[in-house]
Structure 1
Amino acid sequence: MPDHQLTVQKTDFTPLSGCDLLVRDARLLVVDGDTEIPGGWIALRNGRVAAYGHAGTEPERAARTLRATGRLVTPGLINTHHHLYQNLTRAYAPAVNGTLFTWLTTLYPLWAALDEEAVHLSAYVGIAELLMGGCTTSMDHHYVHPRPRLIDAQIRTAADLGFRFHATRGSMTRSTEDGGLPPRSVTQTADEVLADSERLVRTHHDPGPGALTRVALAPCSPFSVTRELMAATAELAERLDVRLHTHLAEDPDEDAYCLETYDCRPVEYFESVGWMTDRTWVAHCIHPNGAERARLAAAGVGVAHCPSSNMLIAGGTAAVQEMRALGMPVGLGCDGSASTDHASLWLEARGALLLGRYRGGPAAMTARDALDIATRGSARCLGRADELGHLRPGACGDLVVWDTPQVALAGALTDPVEAWLRCAPSRAWSTVVGGRVLVDSGELQLPGLVEKLREHARVARRIQGLD
Structure 2
Amino acid sequence: MTTAVDPPVRAAELLVRDAELLVVDGGREIPGGWLAVTGGRVTAVGGAGSEPEARTTVSAAGRLVTPGLVNTHHHIYQNLTRSYAPAVNGSLFDWLTTLYPLWAGLDEEAAYVSAYVGMAELLMGGCTTSSDHLYVHPRPRLVDAEIGAARDIGFRFHATRGSMTRSVEDGGLPPRSVTQTEEEVLADSERLIGAYHDPEPGALVRVALAPCSPFSVTKELMTATAQLAERHDVRLHTHLAEDLDEDTYCLETYGCRPVEYFEETGWLSDRSWVAHCIYPNDAELRRLAAAGVGVAHCPSSNMLIGGGTARVKEMRELGLPVGIGCDGSASTDHASLWLETRAALLLGRYRGGPGAMTARDALDIATRGSARCLGREDELGHLRPGACADLVVWDLHEVALAGALSDPVEAWLRCGPARAWTTVVAGRILVDRGEPRLPGLADALRAHSGIARRMQRET
TM category, shorter: over 0.9
The aligned counterpart of 1:3 is none
The aligned counterpart of 2:214 is 222
The aligned counterpart of 2:356 is 364
Q: Aligned with 1:348: secondary structure?
A: helix
The aligned counterpart of 1:17 is 10
Q: 1:185 aligns with which of 171, 177, 183?
A: 177
**Matching of residues 206-285 of structure 1 within 5 Å:** 206-285=198-277
Change beyond 3 A, Cα 1:14–1:73:
same
The aligned counterpart of 2:451 is 459
The aligned counterpart of 1:49 is 42
Q: 1:136 aligns with which of 128, 144, 148?
A: 128
**Matching of residues 101-180 of structure 1 within 5 Å:** 101-180=93-172
The aligned counterpart of 1:333 is 325
Aligned AA (1:293):
L
Larger displacement relative to structure 2 (270-279 or 450-459)? 450-459
Q: CA deviation at 1:313?
A: 0.5
**Matching of residues 366-405 of structure 1 within 5 Å:** 366-405=358-397
Q: Deviations over 1:66-104 (max 9, x none)?
A: 000000000000000000000000000000001100000
Q: Aligned with 1:256: secondary structure?
A: helix
Q: Unaligned 5+ residue runs, structure 2? A: none
Aligned mates of 1:37, 1:241 — CA distance in 2: 37
Aligned mates of 1:45, 1:316 — CA distance in 2: 44
Q: Aligned with 1:452: secondary structure?
A: helix
CA RMSD of aligned residues (A): 0.7
1:8 aligns with 2:6: no
Aligned mates of 1:153, 1:12 — CA distance in 2: 42
Q: Aligned with 1:294: secondary structure?
A: helix
Aligned AA (1:348):
E
CA contact (8 A) 2:5 2:44 kept: no
Aligned mates of 2:179, 2:435 — CA distance in 1: 39
The aligned counterpart of 1:34 is 27
Aligned mates of 2:221, 2:83 — CA distance in 1: 32
Q: Aligned with 1:417: secondary structure?
A: helix
Aligned AA (2:453):
R
Aligned mates of 2:305, 2:358 — CA distance in 1: 24
TM-score scaled to structure 2, two decimals?
0.99
**Matching of residues 347-358 of structure 1 within 5 Å:** 347-358=339-350
Q: Aligned with 2:86: secondary structure?
A: helix
Q: Aligned with 2:273: secondary structure?
A: strand
CA contact (8 A) 2:5 2:45 kept: no
Aligned mates of 1:200, 1:338 — CA distance in 2: 26
Q: Unaligned 5+ residue runs, structure 1? A: 1-6
Aligned mates of 2:143, 2:206 — CA distance in 1: 12
Q: Aligned with 1:95: secondary structure?
A: coil
The aligned counterpart of 2:187 is 195
Aligned mates of 1:448, 1:122 — CA distance in 2: 12
CA contact (8 A) 2:6 2:385 kept: no
Q: CA deviation at 1:14?
A: 3.1
Aligned mates of 2:87, 2:101 — CA distance in 1: 12
Aligned AA (1:209):
P
Aligned mates of 1:87, 1:438 — CA distance in 2: 21
Q: CA deviation at 1:451?
A: 2.2
Aligned mates of 2:173, 2:215 — CA distance in 1: 8
**Matching of residues 297-308 of structure 1 within 5 Å:** 297-308=289-300
Change beyond 3 A, Cα 1:117–1:83:
same
Q: Aligned with 1:432: secondary structure?
A: strand
Give percent identity, aligned residues only. 77
Aligned mates of 1:139, 1:372 — CA distance in 2: 18
Aligned mates of 2:414, 2:12 — CA distance in 1: 34
Q: Deviations over 1:109-150 (max 9, x none)?
A: 000000000000100010000000000000000000000010
Q: CA deviation at 1:12?
A: 4.8
Aligned mates of 1:374, 1:424 — CA distance in 2: 17
1:412 aligns with 2:370: no
The aligned counterpart of 1:100 is 92
Q: CA deviation at 1:454?
A: 1.3
Aligned AA (1:401):
V
Aligned residues: 459
Aligned mates of 2:329, 2:15 — CA distance in 1: 35
The aligned counterpart of 2:196 is 204
CA contact (8 A) 2:277 2:310 kept: yes
Aligned mates of 2:273, 2:440 — CA distance in 1: 35
Q: CA deviation at 1:455?
A: 1.0
Q: CA deviation at 1:342?
A: 0.2
Q: Deviations over 1:196-243 (max 9, x none)?
A: 000000100000000000000000001100000000000000000000
Q: Aligned with 2:315: secondary structure?
A: helix
Aligned mates of 2:370, 2:240 — CA distance in 1: 17
Q: CA deviation at 1:13?
A: 2.4
Aligned mates of 2:7, 2:335 — CA distance in 1: 38
1:313 aligns with 2:305: yes
Change beyond 3 A, Cα 1:93–1:12:
closer
